[in-house]
Amino acid sequence: MFPTFHPRATVAVLLATSLAALTALTAGCGSNDDNNSSGSSTTASSSGAGAKIALLLPENKTARYENQDKPFFTAKVKELCPNCEIIYENATQDAAKQQQQAEAAITRGAKVLVLDAVDVASAGSIVNRARQAKIPVLSYGRLVANAPLDYYVSIDPFKVGQQQAQVQLEALKAAGKANPRIVMINGSPTDSNSAPYKKGAEQVYKAGGAKIVKSYDTPDWSPDKAQQEMEQTITALGKTGFDAVYVANDGMAGGAVAAMKSAGLSPNKLFVTGQDAEVTGVQRILTGEQLMTVYQPLKEIAGKSAEIAVPLAQGKPVPSGITTSKTDNGAGQVPSVLVPTLAINKDNIESTIIKDGFLKPADVCTSAYASACKDAGIQ
């Protein structure tokens, strides 16, 4: 059971909602402003009443943000509020830039911030600035710490780490590798999800008798840095000093696999994990160079966020039943939506991410992977 929501946070939500109700009466659709340094403003309609919603994403090294999160969120907002305007920015992994982007969105009249923070610790200043302006903040994907958030929409990162490690240990056991030696290439320390991913996996490894022989926290979720970490591991432990490689996401898995292949190692025998169901990650799964990935239903995550953001921007109550739990971020219990995730391997690619329309067969089954797609039943 979660504790009761902190009363100060509740009052803040009511104040933000009340003020938005007053201002929404006079707010019209903003102009289609192309002066953003790294994003753009998308207006769904040029006439009629509307409200401005700021979508602030953290980086573009991970393909999901530009290819899934942004279009899914935009489509759902347009469905719910054709006359709403989306102020979109990507901070390209620069916390200071994201601070500036948030300030600019507030100045331009955003009525709600949907914030996926570059740095969850320093992003508290963005939340506090929005609070001063009586603007509610929805923490998207990553949980901003120690700040009075209004809502949080994401996945359960601890369970994701468990899923990755469980699938990996099952494969190792099937291959006859008892008490395996694991290299861990974890996510960015500025991402609130990275530590729970790591802890969830470590719990499974401990229970399963695995030994962690190297562990890295990788700045910026950088594939290049992950490749360097894998190269360092091979130099330090040799080619036979480890049995499997846990990698927190698909982008970094690509870097780790490149290092293995460069050193003459076969990734197919090292049970590489991943996350995000990126096209390249799924293709590696089809050829055996990656064991699995974790599918975050980004369409649902983005959709739920839009269902909360639109009424907040319009000064209306958020429909009851959308949030199903509360999450402690150090400043209070934040009303939350935590969307279940799925472990993906070669056997369920077609029935999950393809069936859901997350990826299209044409995206995955290019000429180099046509035969592997056919073997996996992907049409």
Is residue 370 one of the residues assigned to a domain? no
Mean pLDDT of 171-190: 97
Per-chain mean pLDDT for the chain: 89
Q: Are residues 303 and 274 in the same domain?
A: no
Q: Are residues 230 and 320 in the same domain?
A: no
Residue 151: domain span: 7-155+298-338
CB 111 within 8 A of CB 312: yes
Mean pLDDT of 101-115: 98
Q: Are residues 19 and 82 in the same domain?
A: yes
Q: Are residues 148 and 181 in the same domain?
A: no
Distance of alpha carbon 192 from alpha carbon 117, whole angstroms: 9
Distance of alpha carbon 141 from alpha carbon 143, whole angstroms: 7
CB 87 within 8 A of CB 105: yes
Q: Is the pLDDT of residue 32 over 60?
A: no
Q: Are residues 274 and 307 in the same domain?
A: no
Q: Which pLDDT score is estimated for 379?
A: 81
Is residue 355 one of the residues assigned to a domain? no
Q: Which of 295, 330, 350 is the last residue of a domain?
A: 295
Is residue 314 one of the residues assigned to a domain? yes
Counted domains in the chain: 2
Per-residue pLDDT tens digits for 290-313: 999 999 999 999 999 999 999 999
Q: Are residues 190 and 326 in the same domain?
A: no
Cross-strand bridge partners of residue 246: 184
Per-residue pLDDT tens digits for 239-286: 999 999 999 999 999 999 999 999 999 999 999 999 999 999 999 999
Closest CA relative to residue 208, chosen from 241, 258, 237, 168: 168
DSSP string for 48-73: SB--EEEEEE--SSSTHIIIIIHHHH
**1 — pLDDT class (breaks 50, 70, 90):** very low
Higher-confidence residue of 192 and 6: namely: 192
Is residue 224 one of the residues assigned to a domain? yes
Per-residue pLDDT tens digits for 203-224: 999 999 999 999 999 999 999 9
Q: Which pLDDT score is estimated for 49?
A: 52
Share of the chain above pLDDT 70, in %: 87
Is residue 353 one of the residues assigned to a domain? no
Q: Are residues 270 and 255 in the same domain?
A: yes
Is residue 191 one of the residues assigned to a domain? yes
Q: Are residues 14 and 147 in the same domain?
A: yes
The CATH code of the domain that includes 144 is 3.40.50.2300
Q: Are residues 237 and 330 in the same domain?
A: no
Q: Which pLDDT score is estimated for 44?
A: 36
Is residue 363 one of the residues assigned to a domain? no
Q: Are residues 139 and 268 in the same domain?
A: no
The pTM for the full model equals: 0.81
Q: Are residues 27 and 114 in the same domain?
A: yes
Cross-strand bridge partners of residue 342: 295
Is residue 379 one of the residues assigned to a domain? no
**Cα–Cα distances in Å, from 104 out to 50, 87, 113, 144, 312?**
19, 10, 11, 20, 19
Mean pLDDT of 19-24: 39
What does DSSP assign to residue 354? I
Per-residue pLDDT tens digits for 125-172: 999 999 999 999 999 999 999 999 999 999 999 999 999 999 999 999
Q: Which pLDDT score is estimated for 50?
A: 78
